Structure 1
Amino acid sequence: MGIDAALAARLAALRAEHGWSLDDLAQRSDISRSALSRFERAEISPTAAQLGRLCTAYGRTMSRLLAEVEAEPPQLLRAGEQAVWRDEASGFVRRSVSPPHAGLRGELIEGRLEPGAVIDYDAPPVPGLEQHIWVLDGRVEITVQGEPQPLGPGDCLRFRLWGPSRFHCPGPDPVRYAVAIVLP
């Protein structure tokens, strides 16, 4: 089963575990009932922003949700073995460098945004989620708690996330960054 089909099955299972109808989840996530149904049938894949809203509804990080659809990760992940997820609509590419693992509270991801790409997250998947974002190449503007922070190569932004956030790649080149996530 591919990652998109596994994600669809996990989304359907999560909704069933919570005892929610599609209408209930639509209200909680602000995503249309029809889109949710299509996600669960693997007819379409959610965008990064939509997946963020679903993670918020289910109280999970995006990494945790994606790890739930992957096999148990080994201790060592070679670059070619790391799971990659793409949101073609926003130009976001997410590599799970160090996925969630039993007994560990942290994870490491690599993000890449194309010039002009914007991703808005309405709320953190877990309130108080600690993040450390280190820009490797390019430029990005990250807005946390209403404060835009322009970042360039080598800059690091660290915070606990309590509200909405926004990632914007102003260009002219793509941005590549590492995100360290520590669960509260």
Structure 2
Amino acid sequence: MGNGEDGALDARLGVRLAELRAEQGWSLGELAERSGISRSTLSRAERAEISPTAALLNRLCGVYGRTMSQLLSEVEAEPALLVRAPDQPVWEDQASGFVRRSVSPPHAGLRGELVEGRLTAGADIAYDRPPVPGLEQHIWVLDGALDVTAQDVEHRLGAGDCLRLRVWGPTRFRCPGPQDARYVLAVVLP
């Protein structure tokens, strides 16, 4: 578990994950079968003994029919209409070298949101399914290079390039380097 604010966020996230499972009436075993994540890992995430990775959260979002931003917003305070840069929630997956900033506050009544993603050179994140089938994504690279694979097609994006797609299956985000990649991800629910 992390220290300070990171540890507090992991604790709130663990509580919310346990609540979502309870709302469905699922045991850890049932959730493990649905998500492909071991019961042990699910239990440790719910108790905030581990900080979940982006891939793990993506799988859980898929099972619960939420985007990652929606899930993370559920453990934050009620979002404001305006969020100043220093107040934008940042989540980091240290294991993969992925940093995610919620630029626009997600809201249950709205379908779109903006996210800033940063991948360190060499970082490689594979998602086995979309959190919501048919999710629309616009990926606009601000700095560096980003390889995005969707529907078995790899797209090499450089600074200024934008890729628009609907996500139905596995995706992969890879920063080939030599510098880190920074990009804007516009997410639109179907």
TM-score range relative to shorter protein: over 0.9
Structure 1 letter corresponding to 2:93: D
Choose from 74, 81, 91 the match for 1:85. 91
Structure 1 letter corresponding to 2:70: R
The superposition leaves residues 133-165 of structure 1 with CA deviations (integer Å, 9 ceiling, x where unpaired) of 000000010001110000000000001110100
Structure 1 letter corresponding to 2:100: R
**What stretches of structure 2 of length at least 5 have no aligned partner?**
none
**What stretches of structure 1 of length at least 5 have no aligned partner?**
none
Q: Which residues in structure 2 correspond to 1:15-30 (within 5 Å)?
A: 15-30=21-36
Choose from 134, 137, 144 the match for 1:131. 137
Contact preservation (8 Å) 2:136, 2:189? yes
1:92 and 1:79 map into 2 onto residues whose CA distance is 19
How far off is 1:4 after superposition? 1.0
Indicate the RMSD between aligned Cα atoms, in angstroms: 0.9
Determine what percentage of the aligned residue pairs are the same residue: 70
**Equivalenced residues, count:** 184
The residue number in structure 1 matching 2:49 is: 43
The superposition leaves residues 78-117 of structure 1 with CA deviations (integer Å, 9 ceiling, x where unpaired) of 0000000000100000000002114321000000000111
2:99 and 2:166 map into 1 onto residues whose CA distance is 23
Choose from 156, 161, 167 the match for 1:155. 161
Q: Which moved more, 1:102-111 or 1:89-98?
A: 102-111
2:45 and 2:24 map into 1 onto residues whose CA distance is 17
2:52 and 2:130 map into 1 onto residues whose CA distance is 17
SS in 1 for 2:155: strand
1:103 and 1:92 map into 2 onto residues whose CA distance is 28
TM-score norm. by structure 2 comes to 0.95
The residue number in structure 2 matching 1:60 is: 66
The residue number in structure 1 matching 2:146 is: 140
Contact preservation (8 Å) 1:99, 1:109? no
2:129 and 2:33 map into 1 onto residues whose CA distance is 15
The superposition leaves residues 6-64 of structure 1 with CA deviations (integer Å, 9 ceiling, x where unpaired) of 10000000000011110111111111100100000000011101110111111110010
2:96 and 2:163 map into 1 onto residues whose CA distance is 22
TM-score norm. by structure 1 comes to 0.98
Structure 1 letter corresponding to 2:19: A
Choose from 18, 33, 38 the match for 2:39. 33
Structure 2 residue 126 is the aligned partner of structure 1 residue 109: no
1:131 and 1:180 map into 2 onto residues whose CA distance is 6
Structure 1 letter corresponding to 2:109: G
Choose from 171, 184, 187 the match for 1:165. 171
